[in-house]
Chains A and B, each alone.
Chain A
């Protein structure tokens, strides 16, 4: 069963912040985050393996709350290059299920 992402879409001005949420009805053992730009392949951003873990990649960071079975991706001081569709993925025994994606648009 795939995780649920919210919001489905968000529009930002450069420099604004955004949060993308990912939740699962099943126990989460790890959460992946990917970004896909238009016409390109998804690109791995980061993985969170433990509850309470936080990671960072440029000005993009994420947290993982194992008990609540959810993860959040934080985009700080967004740049035009952050535009794309963000996917969370939950991995169980080599079986990755992706959320439906959040389309992020950053405008000048």
Chain B
């Protein structure tokens, strides 16, 4: 029943490791996003995909690579993790109804030690 699901919910890893976060939505939405929320709660757009096509690619380190195998999935792979990557990462989706809002996943709390 979960509309936008992210895994894992928590991720603790050492500097230098590579990790992935998965996101899936069952809402039939065309557009999916990755946002990073820092310790001050600021929500910053990272990437956006529309029907598997990258449409927004903000200035993030190229260690971050999104992948969308189909329009229901948007995964985030992070190489060579750094301390500053510690944050909560939210996946979100939105449909074509212009009166609709974003539906967020429950978030992945990434801690790099």
Say which one of B14-22, B67-75, B93-101 lies at the interface with A: B93-101
Q: How far does the alpha carbon of A94 sit from the alpha carbon of B40 in the complex, in Å? A: 24
Residue in B50, B55, B99, B102 whose beta carbon sits within 8 Å of that of A96 in the complex: B102
Q: How far does the alpha carbon of A77 sit from the alpha carbon of B90 in the complex, in Å? A: 31
Interface residue? B106 (CB, 8 A) = yes
Residue in A32, A46, A103 whose beta carbon sits within 8 Å of that of B102 in the complex: A32
Tell me whether B48 and A85 are in contact (CB under 8 A). Answer: no
Tell me whether B102 and A44 are in contact (CB under 8 A). Answer: yes
Q: How far does the alpha carbon of A85 sit from the alpha carbon of B39 in the complex, in Å? A: 13
Tell me whether A95 and B99 are in contact (CB under 8 A). Answer: no
Q: How far does the alpha carbon of A98 sit from the alpha carbon of B43 in the complex, in Å? A: 6
In the complex with contacts A94-B56, A95-B56, A44-B103 CB distance below 8 A = yes
Tell me whether B99 and A49 are in contact (CB under 8 A). Answer: yes
CB within 8 Å of A: which B29-52 residues? 31, 33, 40-43, 45, 48, 50
Interface residue total, chain B, C-beta cutoff 8 A? 23
Tell me whether A49 and B104 are in contact (CB under 8 A). Answer: no
In the complex with contacts A32-B101, A34-B101, A41-B90, A94-B41 CB distance below 8 A = no
Q: How far does the alpha carbon of A55 sit from the alpha carbon of B109 in the complex, in Å? A: 33
Q: How far does the alpha carbon of A41 sit from the alpha carbon of B107 in the complex, in Å? A: 6
Residue in A42, A43, A95 whose beta carbon sits within 8 Å of that of B43 in the complex: A42
Q: How far does the alpha carbon of A36 sit from the alpha carbon of B107 in the complex, in Å? A: 12
Other than the given A41-B105, A41-B107, A98-B42, 5 more pairs (CB < 8 A) read A40-B106, A49-B98, A94-B55, A94-B94, A96-B33
Q: Can you list 21 A-B pairs, Cβ within 8 angstroms, ordered by A? A: A30-B98, A36-B41, A40-B106, A41-B104, A41-B107, A42-B43, A42-B102, A42-B104, A44-B101, A45-B101, A47-B100, A47-B101, A49-B98, A49-B99, A85-B41, A94-B31, A94-B48, A95-B45, A96-B33, A96-B102, A98-B43
